[in-house]
A and B are shown apart, each in its own frame.
Chain A
Amino acid sequence: MKLIFLISFRNLIRQKRRNIQLGIAIAFGIVILTIANAFSKGITDNLLNRLIVFTSGHMKISMIESGRVMNPIIRDRAYVLKTIKSTVTGISNIEEDLGAFGRMIGNGKGDYVFLAGVKLNDEFKSYFRALEGSYENYDKGACNPVIISEQKAKYLNVKIGDQVRMRFDNVNGQKQTAIFTVKVIIKSQNIFMDYAVFTPFKNLKQLMGYKKFETAALKIILDDPRTAAEKADLLHKALEPDKACIWSKTDKYSNNLLLVPFIKGVSLNAAGSLIKMPADTEWDSDTKGAVISSVLADKLKLGVGDRIKFKYKQRYFSGLHHADVKISAIALFNKKISPDTVFVSNESFFRIYNYFLPEDKVRLEDYIQADHKDPVWDMIASEWHLLKRTRNTDDFAKKFKDLMRDKKYQPSMDIATMYETASEIIKMEYVFNLVTFLAASVIFFIIMIGVLNSLRMTVRERTREIGTVRSIGMRRSDVKKVFMMETFLLTVLSWLAGLIISLIVMKLLTLIHFSYDNPLNMLMVDRRLYFVPTLWSVFRNLIIVFAFSMATAFFPSSKAASLKPSEALRHTT
């Protein structure tokens, strides 16, 4: 082996010019490939691990009530969090996603902004470098601090210490005005980020009227963003809701009442045999209030139009919650349905339920003994409406449009991934990878032809030498190894040269500072090109180039090895 290495190496040096030319070609290919890979990886990293992390997260769980998609609210944050933690693996972080959209007024100028609630960690501080002001002590003081981009500050005509006002909808749908103080002006990262104005999470949560145990939406940051869709599917299964109910007491009656919500647009016809309305009852699916059994009406001495009072234990407040609901109809219940069951219209039920979540969950089967296939079950709404998973932006947008139109009081829960919320960004990454792949293919093709030609020439030139070493006693396989080794050495050396050159080139390229208007800005970090050369991609390139050149070297080398020594010796050049 040492001998083979020695001969190959010396031969490589012997044909200096040809090998240098070929080496330059290979090195050039490696440079292109390494830079393209690093750039593409940089984009991916930038997009998936920064931009998407700061915007939509890799996965996002949100809940919408009354079609107010701009003000999502998760009422039982703890439950959702617990479910996420027990079903989704490889989570790097879960963040509460809080933001308000509205008009911000600066010094005589106003502009629409997205006010995002942020927790100021080191990652944030390094991504959004402070240009003026500083992150230190920035949330000390009386007023709500805001962090604002250089561009936005110019637009609103504000400086550090100035006040800005903003009007936005709070979680209850009421208009709210708040005053903020500009504490930090950050460098503009890219077009996306320029719309955002940041304020401490705590402050915004309070301003928007979320309670402590509530949140707007949950962003999940994954270790491996590409598993988002599959993990979202898992979570979707785990977040399947139960039927909603309120198990309550009422005065002067020993039994507990079970309040269950109708689904929106319910029709009683389906359950005709179980719940029968007297012929003269005016009731349709939009009628608010409760439908109670005639038995219960008799017991409580209540009639249509009266209010039925009840109280129940709450999940997040101490003490019993007292509530009442108007009776809209009195019906005859079949034996299979307990007379203590109270069917409440979707709106009336969730107007109470959403704000004061009940603590107790009971078996509905204790009250409703109908078979599980019975349509009466389909008439009862769940704790929330779990929206179907979507796979792309269009379906996702349509889902939300439907939600806005529907305006259900019952909460709707959605589990989205970056593939729906940030598909444009992901598409961009895909395009870059494709371009890299194509460039690589062309380069490898050129390398293949180069290696093939060079080696064929070499074999022809060295035919007599091959004859000599074969006569002396070198085996066929060793002759082949010499030629393969030569290509191997050439490839490795060129790869090394290419790698070094590409590292230098990347370093130089990152020194260029691009202008703000550059549309590619969002692919950059700090308006500079961003390269992430990974060890893996560097070695993968080596392996690919190596495999290609070895595969091409194989045939001329085999030909050299199979020459008959006597013929090779006769060869004249």
Chain B
Amino acid sequence: MSIVLLKDVRKDYPLGKTTVHALQGVELDISTGSFISIVGPSGSGKTTLLNIIGCVDQATTGSITIDDQDVSRMTDNQLTDLRLFKIGFIFQSFNLIPVLNVLENVEFPLLLMKKYTSKEIRKKAEEMIEHVRITEQISQRPSELSGGQRQRVAIARALVTSPRIVLADEPTANLDSETGAQILSLMKRINEQNNVTFIFSTHDPDVLKYANDVIKIRDGKVIERIKCQ
């Protein structure tokens, strides 16, 4: 069963008088529960692709179906809610909210959902923090954490809402290799335990070990899809 389905997706950026064709007809079918890595040289369109899958950016043409929903006709609020309820984001530079502590950062998306009581929110957040093993830092602000700890918080924040898909744009790029490996194995564990689809871009060849699918892209086109294992 596919959770992400892209058909002939193109993305053009106007750049002065010319146009940058960041994506040039991407076809992609990702099934639920996969752990997918997108690789390619710098400027090949990885970030652009993830943004389109994550509904933070819109394709110029082509159709995008996320969890059986056609996103091309959605309003901004609908897209926002789709991101909130179905997608988790992990960023290269962590992007935690600096004025909130660890617990509050993790609670943040739950509060936006307006679905749970504050007790439930607290419980979910604490469980998730436990899960990524940063309980000791629970009341610290992001600026007081190491890179690895920050990314764990980011993962907790991305997962606390139980999303269907987690998108991670070079999640290990700002971490040393050992910490990066820990983060990836954490993500992998969660992927296996919770059947959450993970899609992440990377430059790191080590990362590929964890992926079950590797999608190679170049010049805005999928040039190869390698099944691992």
Contacts and interface: CB of A to CB of B under 8 A. Distances in A.
Contacts of B157: 472
Interface residues of A, number: 25
B84 interface: yes
B80 A470 contact: yes
A11 B104 CA distance: 14
A11 B100 CA distance: 9
B49 to A, nearest CB: 12
A471 B56 contact: yes
A11 B113 CA distance: 22
A7 B83 contact: no
A151 interface: no
A141 interface: no
A469 interface: yes
B54 A471 contact: yes
B117 to A, nearest CB: 13
A499 B85 CA distance: 46
B98 A6 contact: no
B91 A476 contact: no
Interface stretch (A32-40, A114-122, A564-572): A564-572
A6 B104 contact: yes
A465 B98 contact: yes
B81 A464 contact: no
B76 interface: yes
Interface in B49-101: 51, 54, 56-57, 76-77, 80-81, 83-85, 89, 91, 95, 97-100
Contacts of B111: 2-3
B109 interface: yes
A475 interface: yes
A468 interface: yes
Nearest to A465: B97
Nearest to B48: A566
B99 A566 contact: no
Contacts of B56: 467, 470-471, 564-566, 569
A471 B80 CA distance: 7
Nearest to B111: A3
Contacts of B98: 14, 465
Contacts of A476: 76-77, 80
B54 to A, nearest CB: 7
Nearest to A14: B99
Contacts of B100: 6-7, 10
A464 B157 CA distance: 17
B99 to A, nearest CB: 3
A540 to B, nearest CB: 33
A566 B85 CA distance: 18
Contacts of B223: none
A473 interface: yes
Contact of A468 (B51, B80, B91): B91
A15 to B, nearest CB: 10
A468 B97 contact: yes
A465 B99 CA distance: 11
Nearest to B81: A473
Describe A's contact surface by its main secondary structure: helix
Contacts of A470: 56, 80
B108 interface: yes
A11 B89 CA distance: 23
A10 B99 CA distance: 6
Given A468-B97, A473-B81, A476-B80, A566 B109 contact: no
Contact of B57 (A10, A473, A564): A564
B57 A472 contact: no
B112 interface: yes
A472 B84 contact: yes
Interface string B108-121: 11011100000000
B83 A471 contact: yes
A475 B77 contact: yes
Interface in A467-501: 467-476, 478
A564 B56 CA distance: 8
A14 B100 CA distance: 11
Contacts of A472: 83-84, 89, 108-109, 112, 157
Contacts of A465: 95, 97-98
A474 B89 CA distance: 13
Nearest to B92: A569
B11 to A, nearest CB: 10
A64 B186 CA distance: 103
Interface string A553-569: 00000000000111001
A13 to B, nearest CB: 8
A564 B51 CA distance: 11
A3 B57 contact: no
B98 to A, nearest CB: 7
A466 to B, nearest CB: 11
Contacts of B54: 471
A471 B99 CA distance: 18
Among B54, B81, B84, B97, which residue has the most Cβ atoms of chain A within 10 A? B97
Contacts of B77: 475-476
Nearest to B94: A468
Contacts of A469: 97, 108
B99 A473 contact: no
B108 A566 contact: no
Contacts of B81: 473, 475
A471 B79 CA distance: 10
A143 B98 CA distance: 85
B85 A569 contact: no
A478 to B, nearest CB: 8
Interface string A530-573: 00000000000000000000000000000000001110010000
Contact of B80 (A14, A464, A474): A474
Of B76, B80, B85, B113, chain A has the most CB atoms within 10 Å of the CB of B80
Contacts of B84: 472-474
A121 to B, nearest CB: 61
22 contacts: A7-B97, A7-B100, A10-B99, A14-B99, A465-B98, A468-B97, A469-B97, A469-B108, A470-B80, A471-B54, A471-B83, A472-B84, A472-B112, A474-B84, A475-B77, A476-B76, A476-B77, A478-B112, A564-B56, A566-B56, A566-B57, A569-B51
Given A7-B100, A472-B112, A476-B80, 8 more contacts: A3-B112, A468-B91, A469-B97, A469-B108, A472-B109, A472-B157, A473-B84, A474-B112
Report, nearest first, the 8 A-B pairs whose CB atoms are least far apart: A473-B84, A10-B99, A566-B57, A565-B56, A468-B95, A3-B111, A566-B51, A566-B56
Interface of B: 51, 54, 56-57, 76-77, 80-81, 83-85, 89, 91, 95, 97-100, 104, 108-109, 111-113, 157
